[in-house]
C-alpha cells in the first residue's frame, strides 16, 4: 500500500530572527513570526498532500523561550491536522527536552510523543507503519540512543526517529552521537533525523537516512531554502523523498565584488543585477540578506570613504530590487586596494600602518592585546548576546578582530590621504 | 624616474604643446608660465599621463572626452618610455613617437610599466608626496604650528605628505565618542544599549510563563468547584422553601373547605327545583309587567293613526297618467332646444343655397356652360339672385334648391379625375419652372465666360520668383546673424553690468583687480572657521561646566556655615595647634632666649604649663570626639566646597587659555587677511566673500565666453554680407552694401510676393474659365431633357382636358381655374344637402311634442291646448302629479304604522300568558301553594348551590396545588402551624440570598480565571517583543563595530606614528636640520628633539643656538620648516627607493630673495639626484634662478607665449 508522510524537525518555534537591524523601509511585519508562518505552511502542505502522518524529529520549541503562547499556537496547528485525521509523532530534542512549555502543555490527541526513559514504538495499522524513537530525557545526551532502538516490526514500514549530531558534525555538540553503521544495523526503512539545520541525504536507500534541516532559517548562517521532507512510500520500492520549502523568510548571503569595476555607476549596476537575481531566487518570499562587498579595485577608497552612505544606498537598492520585501541584515565591507596601491615605499610613513596591521594580523595574541587596550571601554558594557552567540559582534573573536582591523586600516589610510571625514 | 618631455596633445587650452624637461645637466628645471598660461593644467596633465584621466574633468575645454590626449617621455636610467594616454576605460596607454608626434594606439602599453618606474607609488601618494604647491606648503606649515611641536607627528606629516594628522586623529576620536562614551547617555551606542535593556524588559513581560499558565488553569478549576458547591446548596434551600411556602399557602384553604362541608350539611335535603329557579321567577314577573304596559300603549296609538288617515285625500287620474306626464315634462328643455336649432338651420340652409347658386354662376362665367347638364338653370353672378347680370329681362322663377343641387352633383367630374388633373398640372408646372431656371443660368454662365476670357487676355505673363527666393533665403540667414550679434552685444553689456555690481559688492576697486587678487584658499578659510567654531563650542562647554560648580558652591557653603554654627567643638586646626603646643613642651630644647611659653629660662618645661597643655589638647580631642559626626560632615562639606572651587578654577583657567587662543587666532587671521589685501572680517564672512569671489570669477569667464561668441558672430555676419551681394539677382545692383538687412529683406519679400500673386491670379482665372464652360454645357443638357419630358406628357394632357370638357390645348392656368370651380361647386352642394336634412329633422321633433301634449289633455279630461300652449300645459300637469304623489305616500305610511301597533298589542298579550304558566310550573315543583312560599323555597335552593360551588372550587384548587401528593400535603397542611412555616421561610430566603451572592462572586471569579487563561491565546506578542530585542541588538552591534573600527584606526595611527619616528628620526631629522638652516638663510641653525613630559617634541634652534618650540615659529618660518622636512624626506627616500620627480608649484613665492636663492640652490643640488621641476608664474624667481644658479645647474622652460621677464 502506497502512502506519503512528512519528516520535519527543528521548528524552534517563536525563536526570533537574529541580526536584523530595524531601519526605515525594512519589511518588519513580513519577517516577524516567521517560524510560526513556516509551521502553518507545513500543516497546509500536510493537508494538501493528505499525508498519512507527520514525523517531527525534535526541537519543536527553542528551549530558552518560555512563552506559553508558543505551545498554544503549536497546539492550534496540530488540531488542524487532528481534524483531518493526520497523526503526528513527535520526538523531543535537545532544545525542547526540558522545555517548560512542552511540559506544561496538554497536547491534542493526535500528537504522540516518544517516551524519554527508553525507546518506544508507535504502530499504525493501515498502512502498516512502525515508528521507533526516544525523546531526549535531558538537554545533554552523550550516549548513542539509536543503539537502544527496538528491532524492526516485521511486515511494517519501519521509521527511526532520532535527534542526533551523528558523529561527523564538528560544528555541533555531541547530542546522542551515533554512526551511519549503527543506523544501518537497525534494519529500518527510513531514518528521520533532526538537529542539523542543513538538509542532507546521508544515504539514499536501505535505509534512507535524511537530515531534513530546520523549518525556517533564523540567522545569516542558515541560508537558502528551508522546509521539510515529503516522503513517498511505494510497495516494494525504497522510499523516495523530496524537500519542500515552507520557510516564510529566505536568508541569503550575497557577495558583491568590486573586481574589475571602473566606477561607482558600474558597481551600482552590478549590485542591482545581483539583488534582483537574489530576489528571484527567493521565490517571492521576503528575504533577509547579508551583503559582503569584497574584491580588490579602485572602488575600495570610494567605498571606504562613505561607508554609511553605501549602507543606505544598498538598503535602497535592495528595497527596489525586492519590491520592499528584503531586509538587509548586515553589510560587510571587505575590499582591498589594488596591489600597486598597497605596495607603498618602505620609507613611506603610511607603510608603517600596513606593516603594523600585518604584524597584528599574523599574531592573534598580540592582536588580542592590542584590541583589549583600544576597546577596553566598551567590552564590559556589551550585553552577553553581543559578545557570544550568533549576534556576537566578534570583538573577542580573533578572526572577526582581524577583519575589523583590516577595515580600520582601510579607513585610516583613506583619512590620511584625503583628510578627516 | 625622470620626465624628459611632456606632450600636451589635446588637454586644457593646449593643442600639440611640448614641454621639454630633458636638459641633461640641469639640476633644477624651472617652468615659467604667467597667469592663465595653463601652469596648473600642465601639472594635472602629468597626473593624467602617469595614472590616467579622472572620470570627470574640466580640462576637456569643449572637446569630446575621448579626444583628450597627453603624452610624455619617461626615463629611469635603464629604460626610456615614450607613451601617450587617452581618456577611456580600456587600453588607454599606448606607444608614441615623440619625434614625429605620431601615436600608435595599436601598440598598447601596460600601466605596470609606469608603476614599475614609480616604484609602486599610486596617484594619491604621488600627489601628496611628490607634488607640492604653495597652498599645500602653507597648510603644512599651519599643521606644524598646530601640532604642538610633536616630533612624531611632524616627521610623519612631512614624510607622508599628510598635513592633517592631528585633525585625522581628532576626527577619529570625536567620531568614536559620538558613538560611545563609557559614562555618557546620549551617544548612539549608549542609547542603543539602553534601548536593548528596555526591550528586554518588555519582552519578559510580553509572554505568559508556563508556570503562570498552569496556575491560571488551576485557578479556573478551583473556581468551578466552588461555584458547583454553592449552586448545590442553593438548589436544596430553594426546594425546602418551596415546600414550606406551599404548606403555608395550603393551610387556610384546607380549613375553609372543612367549614363549607359543615354548612351544606346544615341546609338539609335539596328540592327538585331547576338551578335557575330564582332567575326564572324574577324574569317572568318582570316580563309580565312589561307586556301589560306595552299593550296599553299600542292600543292608544292605533286610534290616533286611523283618525289621521281619514284626513288625507289623493287625485287618482294624475297618478294613473304619471308616466306620459313625466315623459313630456322631461322633454320640455329638448323642445326648446329643437325650436332654436330649427331657426338656425333654416338660416344656414338659405346661405348654402346662395352659395350653390354662386358656384354654378362661377362655372358659367369661367367658360362655356354645359347646357346638356344644366338645362334651364339660370346662371347668376354671385350675390344676386333671380336677376342675371346685365339682363333687363324679368327673371324666370327660380328652380327649387333641391333640384338644383341634385343636378349639380350629377354634373361634377369624378374625384379621381380631378386628382389626376392636379398631378398632371403639378408635373407640367415643375418642368416649366426648371426650364426657365436653366435658361437663366445658361445666360449667366455665358456672360461669366466672356468676362474671364477678357481678364485672362488682359493679364501679363508672371515673372519667375525662384532666384529671388534664393536671395531672400540668404538674406534671412544674414538677418539671423545680425540678430545674434545684437543679442550678443546685449548679453555682453548685461554681463559687464553684473560684473561691475559684483565687484562693487566685493568692495574691490575693479573687476580686473579682483580677478588678479591672490586670495586665501577656501579650505584655509574653512579651517579657520572650523577652529573658531570649535573654540566657540569649547567656550559654551566651559560655560556649561561652570554652571554646576557655580550653582552648587553657594549651597555647599551655606550648608557648611549652618553646620558650623551648630558645632561647638574646636576645629582640627585648634586640635593640632594644642597638640603641637603639648608636644613642644614634651621635647627638651636647648636653653636660650625665645624658648617659648611654658618653659623657664633654662628651657625646661614648666610642669604646670605642660599639664595645662596636655589638658587643653585632651579637652579639644574630647570635644571633637563627642561631636565627631558633625565634624565629619563639616569636613566632607569642606572637601566638596574645595572640589567645586577647584573645578571652577580649572574652568576659569581653561577659559583664559581659550580666550588667549582665540585672541591669537583672531590676530593671526587678521594678519592673513591683511596679507591678502582684504579688509578685516571674520572667517564666516570671508568664506561668503570667497564664494562671492568665485561667482565673480565664473561670471568673468562667462563674460569672456560671450565676447568670444560675439566676435565669431560678427565675423560670420561679414562673410554673409559678401554672399548676399552675390546671391541677389543682377549681382545685387541697387542694393547698398551697408543697407540694414531688415529693410533689404522686406523689399525682397515684397517682390517675391508680387510675383507669386500674379501667378496665382492667372491660375485662378484659368480655373474659373474651365469651370464656367462646364456649367454652360450642364445647363444645355438640362434644357434638352426638359423638352423631351414635355413631349412625352402631351397625350396625357390632351386626354385630361377632354375629360374636363376643356379644349385640347388648354393652358395650365385655365385648367387649374376650372378645377377650383369644380371644387367650390362640390362643397356648396354638399353644404346645402346637409343643412336641409338637419332642418327637416328639427321641424319633425317640434311637431311630435305638440301631438303628444294634446293626447294627454284628452286623457285627463282637461281643455285641449292650442299650438304654442303645449309647453305650459305640460308644466301644469307635472305640478299636479307631484302633489298627488305626496298625498299617496303619506297614506301609505299611516297604514304601515297602524299595522305595527296592532302587532305589538298581540305580542304583549302572548307574553302575559307565558309568564303565568311558568310561575304555575315552579309552584308545582316546589310543592307550595302560592308565590311567597315559592319565593322562600327558591332562596334556600340558591344558598345550597352556592356552598356546593365554593366547596368544589376549593377542592379543585387543592388538587391542582398538591398534585400527586394531595392527600399527604393536605393532611400536613391541616396539621401545620402557619407561624412556624413563615419563620422557616424567612430563614430560608435569607440563606438563599447569601448563597446567591456567593454564587455571583464565584461566577465572577470563574470568569476572571477563564479570561486570564484565554489571555494566552497563542498570540505572538512575546515573539515580536523578542524580535524587537534582536533588532536592538543588531543596531547596537553595528554601532559597536563602527566604534571599534574607529578606535582601532586611531590606535593603529598612534602606533604607526611612533614606529615611523623610531625608524626615521635619525636620518630624517639630520637632513631636515640642514635643509631648515639653508632655506632660512642661516637665521635658524637647525633642529633637535627634546622631551616635554612624556612627549617627544621638536625644537628649532635659533641662530644663537637658543631652542624654540615649533608652535612659537612665525608662519613663514613654519612654512620653511615644512619645506625642509619634505625635502629631507625626499632626500632620505633616495637611499631606499628609486627617484621619482618632485613637482613644486611656486612654493617659494612667500620667501624673500635671500631665502629663495638658497632654496633654489638646494633644489638644484637635489635635482641632480632626483628630478625637481619648479613651476612658477613669478618672473623675478626665474631671474633669481638665472642669477644664483650656474647655467649648467638650471634649465628654464616656458609655457605659452612671451619670454620670461625680470
Within this chain, do residues A379 and A415 fall inside the same structural domain, yes or no?
Answer: yes
3-state SS of A156-210 is CEEEEEEECCCCCCCCCCCCCCCCHHHHHHCCCCEEEEECCCCCEEEECCCCEEE
Q: How far is CA A73 from the centre of its chain?
A: 22
Residues counted in chain A: 421
Q: Which cell is A102 given?
A: 512542552
Residue given cell 496547528 in the structure block: A77
Q: Which cell is B667 given?
A: 590676530
A-B Cβ pairs (cutoff 8 Å, strict): 255
- Compare CB distances from A375 to B120, B128, B1047 and report the shortest one's residue: B1047
3-state SS of B28-64 is EEEEECCCCCCHHHHHHHHHHHHHCCCCCCCCCCCCC
Question: How does strand B131-133 pair with strand B1084-1092?
Answer: unpaired
- Using a 10 angstrom Cβ sphere, with 0-12 exposed, 13-18 middle and 19 or more buried, the burial of residue B50 is buried
**Three-point CA angle B830, B834, B836, nearest 5°:** 120
3-state SS of B1162-1204 is HHHHHHHHCCEEEEECCHHHHHHHHHHCCHHHEEEEECCCCCC
Which residue does chain A place closest to B1138, by CA atoms?
A: A345
Whether the upstream peptide bond of residue B1125 has omega within 30° of 0, thus cis, is: no
**How far is the alpha carbon of A220 from chain B, nearest alpha carbon, in Å?**
12
- What does the DSSP 8-state code read for residue B869? -
What is the gyration radius of the CA atoms in chain A, in angstroms?
A: 25
Q: Is the pLDDT of residue B715 over 50?
A: yes
Residues counted in chain B: 1206
Q: Which cell is A255 given?
A: 557577495
The whole-angstrom separation of Cα A110 and Cα A85 is: 8
Chain B residues within an 8 Å CB radius of A31: 1027
Within this chain, do residues A302 and A368 fall inside the same structural domain, yes or no?
Answer: no
Q: Is the pLDDT of residue B294 over 70?
A: yes
Tell me the per-residue pLDDT of B226-281, one tens digit each, with 9 for 90 and over. 999 999 999 999 988 988 888 888 888 888 887 888 888 877 777 788 888 888 88
Within this chain, do residues A43 and A182 fall inside the same structural domain, yes or no?
Answer: yes
Tell me the per-residue pLDDT of B968-1009, one tens digit each, with 9 for 90 and over. 888 888 888 889 989 999 999 999 999 999 999 999 999 999
Max Cα distance, chain B (Å): 214
Percent with pLDDT over 70 in chain A: 95
- Compare CB distances from A16 to B209, B1016, B1030 and report the shortest one's residue: B1030
The pLDDT score that the predictor gives to residue A65 is: 62
**Residue B181's CB: how many other CB atoms inside 10 A?**
16
Domain boundary among A289, A308, A338: A338
| Secondary structure class of B1088 (helix, strand, coil) | strand
Q: Is the pLDDT of residue B379 over 70?
A: no
Within this chain, do residues A112 and A25 fall inside the same structural domain, yes or no?
Answer: yes
Contact A94, A46 (CB under 8 A): no
Q: Which cell is B518 given?
A: 591672490
Contact A203, A184 (CB under 8 A): yes
3-state SS of B933-977 is HHHHHHHHHHHHHHHHHHHHHHHHHHHHHHHHHHHHHHHHHHHCC
Contact A204, A240 (CB under 8 A): no
Mean pLDDT score, B899-923: 85
**How far is the alpha carbon of B517 from chain A, nearest alpha carbon, in Å?**
28
The pLDDT score that the predictor gives to residue B821 is: 80
Whether the upstream peptide bond of residue B327 has omega within 30° of 0, thus cis, is: no
Within this chain, do residues A152 and A235 fall inside the same structural domain, yes or no?
Answer: yes
Chain B residues within an 8 Å CB radius of A415: 168, 171-172, 1049
- Compare CB distances from A352 to B210, B1050, B1059 and report the shortest one's residue: B1059
Give buried/exposed letters for B584-619 (b at 16+ CB in 10 A, else e). bbeeeeeeeeebeebbeeeeebeeebbeebbebbee
C-beta atoms of B1136 and A100 within 8 A: no
Within this chain, do residues A188 and A327 fall inside the same structural domain, yes or no?
Answer: no
C-beta atoms of A33 and B128 within 8 A: no
Q: How confident is the model at residue A303 (pLDDT cuts 50, 70, 90)?
A: confident
B1201: CB partners within 8 A, 6+ apart:
none
Which residue does chain B place closest to A22, by CA atoms?
A: B1031
The whole-angstrom separation of Cα B916 and Cα B919 is: 5
**How far is the alpha carbon of A287 from chain B, nearest alpha carbon, in Å?**
16
C-beta atoms of B1045 and A71 within 8 A: no
Give residue A114's domain range. Answer: 3-245
Write down the ipTM of this complex: 0.86
The pLDDT score that the predictor gives to residue A343 is: 62
The pLDDT score that the predictor gives to residue B24 is: 58
* Cross-strand pairs, A211: A193, A200
Q: Is the pLDDT of residue B532 over 70?
A: yes
Q: How confident is the model at residue B21 (pLDDT cuts 50, 70, 90)?
A: confident
Within this chain, do residues A329 and A225 fall inside the same structural domain, yes or no?
Answer: no
C-beta atoms of B207 and A415 within 8 A: no
The whole-angstrom separation of Cα B391 and Cα B369 is: 17
The pLDDT score that the predictor gives to residue B553 is: 85
- Compare CB distances from B1020 to A14, A412, A416 and report the shortest one's residue: A14
Phi first, then psi, for residue B930 (nearest 5°) are -140, 180
Tell me the per-residue pLDDT of B821-833, one tens digit each, with 9 for 90 and over. 888 888 888 888 8
C-beta atoms of A381 and B182 within 8 A: yes
**Residue B950's CB: how many other CB atoms inside 10 A?**
16
The whole-angstrom separation of Cα B547 and Cα B213 is: 55
Q: Which residue has the higher pLDDT, B316 or B1088?
A: B1088
C-beta atoms of B175 and A357 within 8 A: no
Q: Is the pLDDT of residue B1168 over 50?
A: yes
Q: Which of B574, B557, B575 is nearest to B565 (CA)?
A: B557
E strand or H helix at B642? helix B628-675
Domain boundary among A226, A245, A264: A245
Give the pTM: 0.52
- What does the DSSP 8-state code read for residue A244? E
Q: Which cell is B860 given?
A: 285627463
Window from A96-100, A239-243, B784-788, B1155-1159 with minimum mean pLDDT: A96-100
Q: Is the pLDDT of residue B1010 over 80?
A: yes
Angle between helices A68-83 and A34-49 (to 10 degrees): 10
Q: Which cell is B618 given?
A: 585632651
The pLDDT score that the predictor gives to residue B759 is: 74
Mean pLDDT score, A285-297: 91
C-beta atoms of B1023 and A32 within 8 A: yes
Q: Is the pLDDT of residue B692 over 50?
A: yes
In a mutational test of the B interface, the residue from A11, A25, A67, A403 whose CB has the highest number of chain B CBs within 10 Å is A67
Within this chain, do residues A83 and A24 fall inside the same structural domain, yes or no?
Answer: yes
Angle between helices B277-310 and B931-962 (to 10 degrees): 120
- Compare CB distances from B1018 to A17, A76, A391 and report the shortest one's residue: A76
Tell me the per-residue pLDDT of B127-182, one tens digit each, with 9 for 90 and over. 888 888 888 888 888 888 887 778 888 888 888 877 678 889 999 999 999 999 98
Domain boundary among A224, A245, A266: A245
Tell me the per-residue pLDDT of B841-870, one tens digit each, with 9 for 90 and over. 888 888 888 888 888 888 888 888 887 788
Within this chain, do residues A94 and A181 fall inside the same structural domain, yes or no?
Answer: yes
Which residue does chain A place closest to B196, by CA atoms?
A: A383
C-beta atoms of A17 and B1027 within 8 A: yes
Q: Which cell is B190 given?
A: 549608549
Q: How confident is the model at residue B371 (pLDDT cuts 50, 70, 90)?
A: very low
Q: Which residue has the higher pLDDT, A194 or B807?
A: A194
Q: How confident is the model at residue A146 (pLDDT cuts 50, 70, 90)?
A: very high
**How far is the alpha carbon of B675 from chain A, nearest alpha carbon, in Å?**
27
The pLDDT score that the predictor gives to residue B719 is: 75
The whole-angstrom separation of Cα B566 and Cα B557 is: 14
Within this chain, do residues A187 and A309 fall inside the same structural domain, yes or no?
Answer: no
Q: Which of B153, B173, B168 is nearest to B1096 (CA)?
A: B153
Q: Is the pLDDT of residue B193 over 50?
A: yes
Q: Is the pLDDT of residue A134 over 50?
A: yes
Amino acid at each position: 500500500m502506497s502512502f506519503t508522510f512528512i519528516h520535519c524537525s527543528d521548528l524552534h518555534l517563536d525563536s526570533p530572527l537574529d541580526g536584523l537591524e530595524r531601519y526605515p523601509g525594512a519589511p518588519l511585519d513580513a519577517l516577524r513570526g516567521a517560524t510560526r508562518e513556516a509551521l502553518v505552511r507545513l500543516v497546509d502542505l500536510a493537508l494538501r498532500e493528505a499525508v498519512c502522518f507527520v514525523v517531527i524529529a525534535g526541537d519543536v520549541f527553542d528551549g530558552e523561550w518560555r512563552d506559553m503562547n508558543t505551545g498554544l499556537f503549536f497546539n492550534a496547528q496540530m488540531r488542524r491536522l487532528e481534524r483531518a485525521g493526520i497523526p503526528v509523532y513527535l520526538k523531543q530534542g535537545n532544545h525542547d527536552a526540558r522545555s517548560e512549555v512542552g511540559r506544561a502543555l496538554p497536547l491534542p490527541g493526535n500528537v504522540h510523543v516518544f517516551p524519554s526513559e527508553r525507546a518506544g514504538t508507535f504502530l499504525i495499522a493501515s498502512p502498516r507503519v512502525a515508528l521507533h524513537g526516544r525523546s531526549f530525557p535531558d538537554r545533554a545526551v552523550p550516549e548513542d540512543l539509536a543503539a537502544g532502538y527496538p528491532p524492526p516490526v516485521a511486515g511494517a514500514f519501519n521509521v527511526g526517529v532520532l535527534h542526533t549530531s551523528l558523529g561527523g558534525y564538528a560544528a555541533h555538540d555531541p547530542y546522542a552521537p551515533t554512526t551511519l553503521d549503527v543506523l544501518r544495523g537497525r534494519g529500518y526503512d527510513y531514518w528521520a533525523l533532526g538537529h542539523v539545520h542543513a538538509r542532507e541525504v546521508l544515504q539514499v536507500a536501505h535505509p534512507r537516512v535524511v537530515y531534513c534541516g530546520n523549518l525556517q532559517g533564523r540567522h545569516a548562517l542558515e541560508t537558502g531554502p528551508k522546509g521539510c521532507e515529503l516522503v513517498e512510500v511505494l510497495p516494494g520500492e525504497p522510499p523516495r523523498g523530496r524537500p519542500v520549502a515552507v520557510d516564510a523568510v529566505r536568508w541569503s548571503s550575497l557577495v558583491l565584488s568590486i573586481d574589475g569595476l571602473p566606477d561607482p555607476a558600474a558597481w551600482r549596476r552590478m549590485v542591482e543585477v545581483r539583488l534582483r537575481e537574489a530576489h528571484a531566487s527567493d521565490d517571492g518570499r521576503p528575504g533577509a540578506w547579508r551583503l559582503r562587498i569584497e574584491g580588490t579595485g579602485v572602488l575600495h577608497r570610494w567605498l571606504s570613504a562613505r561607508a554609511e552612505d553605501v549602507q543606505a544606498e544598498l538598503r535602497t537598492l535592495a528595497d527596489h530590487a525586492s519590491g520592499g520585501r528584503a531586509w538587509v541584515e548586515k553589510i560587510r565591507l571587505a575590499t582591498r586596494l589594488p596591489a600597486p596601491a598597497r605596495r607603498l615605499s618602505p620609507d613611506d610613513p603610511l607603510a608603517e600602518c600596513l606593516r603594523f596591521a600585518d604584524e597584528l594580523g599574523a599574531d592573534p595574541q598580540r592582536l588580542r592585546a592590542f584590541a583589549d587596550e583600544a576597546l577596553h571601554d566598551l567590552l564590559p558594557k556589551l550585553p552577553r548576546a553581543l559578545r557570544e552567540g550568533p549576534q556576537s559582534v566578534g570583538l573577542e573573536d580573533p578572526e572577526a578582530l582581524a577583519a575589523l582591523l583590516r577595515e580600520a586600516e582601510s579607513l585610516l589610510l583613506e583619512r590620511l590621504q584625503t583628510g578627516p571625514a | 624616474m625622470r620626465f624628459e618631455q611632456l606632450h600636451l596633445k589635446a588637454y586644457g587650452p593646449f593643442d600639440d604643446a611640448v614641454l621639454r624637461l630633458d636638459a641633461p645637466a640641469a639640476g633644477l628645471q624651472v617652468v615659467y608660465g604667467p597667469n592663465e598660461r595653463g601652469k596648473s593644467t600642465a601639472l594635472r596633465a602629468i597626473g593624467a599621463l602617469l595614472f590616467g584621466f579622472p572620470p570627470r574633468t574640466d580640462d576637456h575645454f569643449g572637446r569630446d572626452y575621448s579626444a583628450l590626449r597627453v603624452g610624455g617621455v619617461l626615463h629611469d636610467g635603464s629604460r626610456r618610455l615614450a607613451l601617450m594616454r587617452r581618456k577611456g576605460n580600456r587600453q588607454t596607454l599606448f606607444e608614441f613617437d615623440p619625434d614625429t608626434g605620431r601615436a600608435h594606439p595599436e601598440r598598447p602599453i601596460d600601466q605596470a610599466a609606469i608603476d614599475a618606474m614609480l616604484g609602486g607609488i599610486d596617484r594619491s601618494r604621488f600627489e601628496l608626496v611628490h607634488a607640492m604647491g604653495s597652498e599645500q606648503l602653507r597648510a603644512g606649515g599651519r599643521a606644524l604650528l598646530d601640532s604642538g611641536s610633536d616630533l612624531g607627528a611632524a616627521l610623519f606629516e612631512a614624510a607622508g605628505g599628510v598635513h592633517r594628522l592631528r585633525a585625522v586623529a581628532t576626527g577619529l576620536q570625536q567620531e568614536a565618542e559620538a558613538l560611545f562614551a563609557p559614562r555618557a547617555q546620549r551617544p548612539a551606542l549608549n542609547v542603543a544599549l539602553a534601548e536593548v535593556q528596555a526591550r528586554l524588559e518588555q519582552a519578559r513581560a510580553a509572554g505568559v510563563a508556563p508556570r503562570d499558565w498552569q496556575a491560571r488553569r488551576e485557578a479556573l478549576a478551583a473556581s468551578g468547584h466552588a461555584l458547583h458547591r454553592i449552586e448545590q446548596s442553593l438548589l436544596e434551600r430553594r426546594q425546602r422553601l418551596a415546600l414550606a411556602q406551599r404548606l403555608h399557602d395550603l393551610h387556610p384553604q384546607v380549613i375553609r373547605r372543612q367549614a363549607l362541608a359543615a354548612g351544606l350539611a346544615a341546609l338539609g335535603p335539596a328540592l327538585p327545583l331547576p338551578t335557575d329557579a330564582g332567575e326564572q321567577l324574577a324574569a317572568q314577573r318582570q316580563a309580565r309587567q312589561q307586556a301589560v304596559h306595552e299593550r296599553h300603549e299600542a292600543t292608544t296609538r292605533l286610534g290616533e293613526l286611523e283618525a289621521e288617515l281619514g284626513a288625507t285625500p289623493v287625485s287618482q287620474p294624475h297618478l294613473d297618467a304619471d308616466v306620459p306626464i313625466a315623459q313630456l315634462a322631461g322633454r320640455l328643455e329638448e323642445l326648446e332646444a329643437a325650436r332654436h336649432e330649427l331657426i338656425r338651420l333654416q338660416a344656414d340652409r338659405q346661405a348654402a343655397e346662395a352659395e350653390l347658386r354662386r358656384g354654378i354662376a362661377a362655372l358659367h362665367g369661367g367658360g362655356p356652360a354645359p347646357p346638356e347638364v344644366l338645362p334651364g338653370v339660370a346662371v347668376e353672378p354671385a350675390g344676386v339672385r333671380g336677376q342675371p347680370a346685365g339682363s333687363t329681362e324679368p327673371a324666370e322663377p327660380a328652380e327649387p334648391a333641391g333640384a338644383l343641387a341634385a343636378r349639380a352633383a350629377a354634373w361634377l367630374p369624378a374625384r379621381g379625375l380631378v386628382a389626376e388633373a392636379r398631378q398632371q398640372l403639378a408635373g407640367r408646372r415643375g418642368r416649366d419652372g426648371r426650364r426657365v431656371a436653366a435658361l437663366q443660368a445658361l445666360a449667366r454662365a455665358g456672360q461669366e465666360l466672356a468676362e474671364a476670357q477678357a481678364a485672362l487676355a488682359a493679364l501679363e505673363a508672371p515673372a519667375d520668383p525662384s532666384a529671388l527666393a534664393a536671395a531672400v533665403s540668404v538674406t534671412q540667414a544674414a538677418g539671423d546673424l545680425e540678430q545674434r550679434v545684437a543679442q550678443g552685444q546685449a548679453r555682453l553689456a548685461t554681463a559687464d553690468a553684473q560684473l561691475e555690481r559684483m565687484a562693487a559688492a566685493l568692495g574691490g576697486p575693479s573687476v580686473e583687480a579682483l580677478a588678479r587678487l591672490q586670495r586665501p584658499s577656501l579650505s584655509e578659510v574653512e579651517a579657520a572657521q572650523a577652529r573658531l567654531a570649535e573654540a566657540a563650542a569649547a567656550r559654551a562647554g566651559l560655560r556649561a561646566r561652570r554652571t554646576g560648580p557655580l550653582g552648587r558652591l553657594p549651597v555647599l557653603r551655606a550648608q557648611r556655615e549652618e553646620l558650623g554654627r551648630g558645632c561647638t567643638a574646636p576645629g582640627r586646626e585648634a586640635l593640632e595647634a594644642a597638640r603641637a603646643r603639648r608636644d613642644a613642651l614634651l621635647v627638651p630644647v636647648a636653653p636660650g632666649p625665645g624658648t617659648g611659653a611654658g618653659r623657664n629660662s633654662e628651657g625646661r618645661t614648666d610642669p604646670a604649663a605642660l599639664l595645662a597643655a596636655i589638658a587643653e589638647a585632651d579637652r579639644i580631642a574630647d570635644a571633637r570626639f563627642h561631636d565627631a559626626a558633625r565634624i565629619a560632615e563639616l569636613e566632607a562639606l569642606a572637601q566638596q566646597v574645595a572640589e567645586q572651587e577647584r573645578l571652577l578654577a580649572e574652568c576659569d583657567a581653561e577659559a583664559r587659555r581659550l580666550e588667549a587662543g582665540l585672541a591669537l587666532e583672531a590676530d593671526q587671521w587678521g594678519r592673513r587677511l591683511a596679507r591678502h589685501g582684504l579688509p578685516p572680517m571674520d572667517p564666516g564672512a570671508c568664506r561668503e566673500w570667497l564664494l562671492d569671489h568665485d561667482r565673480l570669477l565664473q561670471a568673468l569667464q562667462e563674460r569672456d565666453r560671450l565676447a568670444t561668441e560675439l566676435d565669431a558672430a560678427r565675423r560670420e555676419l561679414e562673410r554673409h554680407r559678401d554672399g548676399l551681394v552675390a546671391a541677389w539677382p543682377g549681382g545685387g545692383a541697387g542694393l547698398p552694401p551697408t543697407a540694414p538687412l531688415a529693410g533689404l529683406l522686406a523689399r525682397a519679400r515684397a517682390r517675391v510676393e508680387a510675383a507669386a500673386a500674379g501667378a496665382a491670379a492667372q491660375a485662378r482665372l484659368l480655373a474659373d474659365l474651365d469651370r464656367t464652360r462646364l456649367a454652360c454645357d450642364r445647363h444645355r443638357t438640362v434644357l434638352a431633357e426638359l423638352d423631351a419630358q414635355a413631349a412625352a406628357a402631351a397625350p396625357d394632357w390632351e386626354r385630361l382636358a377632354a375629360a374636363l370638357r376643356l379644349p385640347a390645348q388648354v393652358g395650365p392656368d385655365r385648367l387649374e381655374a376650372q378645377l377650383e370651380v369644380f371644387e367650390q361647386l362640390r362643397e356648396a352642394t354638399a353644404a346645402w344637402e346637409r343643412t336641409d336634412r338637419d332642418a327637416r329633422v328639427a321641424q319633425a321633433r317640434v311637431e311630435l311634442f305638440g301631438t303628444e301634449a294634446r293626447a294627454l289633455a284628452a286623457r285627463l279630461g282637461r281643455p285641449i291646448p292650442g299650438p304654442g300652449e303645449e309647453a305650459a300645459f305640460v308644466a301644469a300637469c307635472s305640478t299636479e302629479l307631484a302633489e298627488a304623489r305626496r298625498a299617496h305616500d303619506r297614506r301609505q305610511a299611516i297604514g304601515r304604522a297602524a299595522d305595527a301597533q296592532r302587532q305589538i298589542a298581540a305580542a304583549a298579550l302572548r307574553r302575559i300568558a307565558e309568564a303565568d304558566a311558568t310561575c304555575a310550573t315552579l309552584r308545582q315543583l316546589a310543592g307550595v301553594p302560592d308565590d311567597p312560599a315559592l319565593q322562600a323555597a327558591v332562596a334556600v335552593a340558591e344558598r345550597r348551590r352556592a356552598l356546593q360551588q365554593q366547596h368544589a372550587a376549593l377542592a379543585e384548587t387543592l388538587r391542582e396545588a398538591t398534585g400527586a401528593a394531595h392527600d399527604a400535603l393536605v393532611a400536613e397542611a391541616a396539621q401545620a402551624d402557619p407561624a412556624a412555616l413563615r419563620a422557616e421561610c424567612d430563614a430560608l430566603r435569607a440563606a438563599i440570598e447569601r448563597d446567591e451572592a456567593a454564587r455571583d462572586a464565584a461566577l465572577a471569579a470563574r470568569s476572571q480565571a477563564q479570561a486570564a487563561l484565554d489571555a494566552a491565546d497563542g498570540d505572538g506578542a512575546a515573539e515580536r517583543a523578542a524580535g524587537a530585542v534582536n533588532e536592538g541588538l543588531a543596531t547596537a552591534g553595528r554601532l559597536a563595530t563602527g566604534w571599534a573600527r574607529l578606535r582601532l584606526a586611531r590606535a593603529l595611527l598612534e602606533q604607526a606614528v611612533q614606529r615611523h619616528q623610531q625608524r626615521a628620526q635619525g636620518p630624517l631629522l639630520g637632513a631636515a636640520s640642514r635643509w631648515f638652516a639653508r632655506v632660512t638663510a642661516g637665521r635658524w641653525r637647525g633642529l633637535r628633539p627634546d622631551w616635554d613630559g612624556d612627549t617627544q617634541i621638536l625644537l628649532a634652534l635659533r641662530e644663537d643656538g637658543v631652542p624654540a618650540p615649533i608652535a612659537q615659529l612665525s608662519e613663514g618660518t613654519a612654512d620653511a620648516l615644512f619645506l625642509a622636512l619634505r625635502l629631507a624626506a625626499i632626500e632620505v627616500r633616495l637611499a631606499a627607493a628609486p627617484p621619482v620627480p618632485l613637482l613644486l608649484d611656486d612654493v617659494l613665492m612667500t620667501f624673500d630673495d635671500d631665502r629663495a636663492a638658497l632654496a633654489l640652490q638646494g633644489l638644484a643640488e637635489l635635482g641632480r639626484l632626483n628630478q625637481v621641476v619648479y613651476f612658477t608664474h613669478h618672473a623675478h624667481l626665474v631671474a633669481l634662478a638665472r642669477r644664483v644658479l650656474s647655467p649648467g645647474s638650471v634649465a628654464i622652460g616656458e609655457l605659452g607665449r612671451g619670454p620670461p621677464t625680470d
